Amino acid sequence: MSASNSKILVLNGPNLNRLDLRDTNTYGSMNWEQLVTFINSCAKELGLEVEVKQSNSETEITESLQGAAQSHTPVIINPAAFTHYSYAIRDAVELIKAPVIEVHLSNPMAREEFRHTSVVSGVANGTIAGFGPNSYHLALIAMSKLLSK
């Protein structure tokens, strides 16, 4: 599978649509619309096509992941708060045979102890965290490499 003929699902969990209200020291100064524009720009620069989605619903995220599994779509996922406890999302990620990369704007390991556990990491190809919006850029670079193998 080449990177040029595969659309990548960039799936984001709860509260990322309200970055404008969140702590800028933790999440940076981009709002949701700016983050989506940044992700699309990075993808275009790499010759990748992305679909960026966000949901506050565990059910919707699970259904999007099941759809990606069905269509063999690669996924970059920021599960947000669901990272730490959603076994439904974890199990849906496990269904995906295409590459999956977990991303986080902040570094969960540098935050509260409850954020130190990711139930998703064990079923993803890798995790990129702590680089703000550049976490997505780095994930797109990594995905491009995975898809070109």
Q: Which residues are catalytic?
A: 27, 104
Other Cβ atoms within 10 Å of 22 Cβ, number: 15
Helices (H), the chain: 24-27, 32-45, 58-71, 87-94, 134-147
The span from the CA of 61 to the CA of 15, in Å, is 13
